[in-house]
Amino acid sequence: VGRVPVRVSLDSLDVGDLKKILAGAEGSVLKQFIRDMEGYGINMTATDNALNEIAKMAEKEGTGARGLVTILEKTLRQHKYELPSTSITEFVLDKQTVVEPKAGLYRLLETTTEDDVMAVRLKDLKRWETKFNRQLLPTTDAWLTDDAINYLILKSLEGDDESAYSFASRHFDDALFATVIKQIYESTSQKLFPISLDAAKDPKAEFRKWLDLLS
């Protein structure tokens, strides 16, 4: 039995189609972002104008519904990274944020108070501690001393709206730090690693001191 070729013509998705997919589809990328934010205790909603703008921008991508993923990823990439490290519990995605994501994030961050900022940055560093310890052997434990925490909070405030969490991850080079601790544990069986003020000020110099003790 031979195959019967069938040809069909497909119309590309227009703005209206893309908006329906964005707002109505059960597994839409927008709903995935909303669920992600809920996981951090943030209630995220989107205005109708924002949905229209996302659909228009996605249409220009010329990749169908995949364009929605591209636009939302560009719009919310930094929000997903920064907002969990703040006291913000409500986030309305509006047209301005879709057009200028970075400016929208800055406007949102400006709504936090100074007390909120300090409390959140402390929580942020504790979150970094938890993440970092997951990279270590179960028998070892590392933590920031009070002096190190105070120093890192102040240093993180010098950055351009960078969270203490992202600052600590970049400042310490987690992978290198974890490797150093593993080497020390394997050589000495040391299990506890307080991260001192000296280590916070110059991590690589302190790592070298730790490794020199093994020589």
Query: In a structure prediction context, what are the per-residue pLDDT tens digits for the chain, which is 215 residues long?
Result: 456 566 544 567 788 888 998 888 777 888 989 998 998 889 999 999 999 999 999 898 888 888 899 999 999 988 988 888 777 888 999 999 999 999 998 888 877 766 677 777 888 899 899 999 999 999 999 999 999 999 999 998 886 667 888 899 989 999 999 999 999 999 999 999 999 999 999 999 999 998 888 87
pLDDT at 74: 92
Residues paired with residue 43 on neighbouring β-strands, in sequence order: 90
Distances 119 to 102, 132, 150 between C-alpha atoms, Å: 23, 20, 12
Question: Which pair of structure tokens corresponds to residue 106?
Answer: 């800055």
**pTM for the full model?**
0.53
How far is residue 215's CA from residue 207's CA, in Å, rounded to a whole number?
13
How far is residue 55's CA from residue 18's CA, in Å, rounded to a whole number?
5
Distances 183 to 57, 133, 178 between C-alpha atoms, Å: 50, 15, 9
Taking the CA atoms of 211, 213, 214 and 215 in sequence, report the sign of the dihedral they define.
Answer: positive
How far is residue 137's CA from residue 149's CA, in Å, rounded to a whole number?
23
Taking the CA atoms of 149, 209, 167 and 81 in sequence, report the sign of the dihedral they define.
Answer: negative
